[in-house]
Amino acid sequence: MIFRPTLLFAPLALCVLAACSRQPEPAPPDADPAATADASGPARIEADVRFLADDLLEGRAAGTRGYDLASLYVANRMRAIGLAPAGDDGTYFQRVPLLEARRQREGAQFTLQRDDGALSFTFLDEFLPGMNFNAASHVLSAPLVFVGQAVHAPDLGYDDFKGVDVRGKVAVYFSGAPASFSNTQRAFHASGHEKMSQLVANGAIGAIGIGNPVDDAKYPWARGARNWEMAGMRLVGADGKPADAWPELKATATLSVEGARKLLAGAPMPVDEIFERRESGKLESFDLPGRVTLAGATTLQAVDSRNVIGKLPGSDPTLAAEHIAYSAHLDHIGIGAEVDGDGVYNGAFDNALGIAVMLQAATELKADATAPRRSLLFVAVTAEERGLLGATYFAQFPTVAKDSLVANINMDMPVFLTEVTDVVPIGIEHSTLEADVQAAAAQLGVGGGGGPHPPRGPGATFFFELNGGAPT
444: burial class by Cβ within 10 Å (0-12, 13-18, 19+)?
exposed
Query: Does the residue 443 lie in any domain?
Result: no
Which structural domain range is residue 342 located in?
18-98+307-419
Query: Does the residue 406 lie in any domain?
Result: yes
pLDDT of amino acid 16: 23
Q: Is the pLDDT of residue 36 over 90?
A: no
225 and 366 in a single domain? The answer is: no
Mean pLDDT of 296-311: 98
- What's the CATH number where 53 sits? 3.40.630.10
41 and 175 in a single domain? The answer is: no
Query: Does the residue 210 lie in any domain?
Result: yes
195 and 243 in a single domain? The answer is: yes
Residue-wise pLDDT for 88-143, tens only, equals 999 999 999 999 999 999 999 999 999 989 999 999 999 999 999 999 999 999 99
Phi/psi for 151 (5° steps) reads -105, 125
Query: Does the residue 461 lie in any domain?
Result: no
What is the DSSP pairing of strand 206-210 with strand 170-174? Answer: parallel
Query: Does the residue 45 lie in any domain?
Result: yes
Half-sphere exposure at residue 187, Cβ-oriented, CA atoms within 13 angstroms: 19
Query: Does the residue 4 lie in any domain?
Result: no
Angle between helices 41-52 and 353-367 (to 10 degrees): 140
Half-sphere exposure at residue 264, Cβ-oriented, CA atoms within 13 angstroms: 29
CA 319 to CA 172: how far, in whole Å? 51
Reported confidence tier of residue 293, pLDDT bands at 50, 70, 90? very high
Query: Does the residue 472 lie in any domain?
Result: no
| DSSP result, 190-220 | HSHHHHHHHHHHTT-SEEEEE--HHHHHHS-
Residue-wise pLDDT for 75-92, tens only, equals 999 999 999 999 999 999
Angle between helices 65-81 and 41-52 (to 10 degrees): 160
Mean pLDDT of 345-360: 97
Q: Is the pLDDT of residue 11 over 50?
A: no
CA 60 to CA 53: how far, in whole Å? 8
93 and 154 in a single domain? The answer is: no
- What's the CATH number where 170 sits? 3.50.30.30
Residue-wise pLDDT for 323-341, tens only, equals 999 999 999 999 999 999 9
Query: Does the residue 468 lie in any domain?
Result: no
Higher pLDDT among residues 470 and 316, named by residue: 316
Residue-wise pLDDT for 136-178, tens only, equals 999 999 999 999 999 999 999 999 999 999 999 999 999 999 9
Residue-wise pLDDT for 189-231, tens only, equals 999 999 999 999 999 999 999 999 999 999 999 999 999 999 9
Question: What is the CA angle 114-116-118, rounded to 5?
Answer: 55
Q: Is the pLDDT of residue 244 over 80?
A: yes
Higher pLDDT among residues 123 and 439, named by residue: 123
277 and 413 in a single domain? The answer is: no
Residue 126 contacts residue 254 (beta carbons within 8 Å): no
Number of domains in the chain: 2
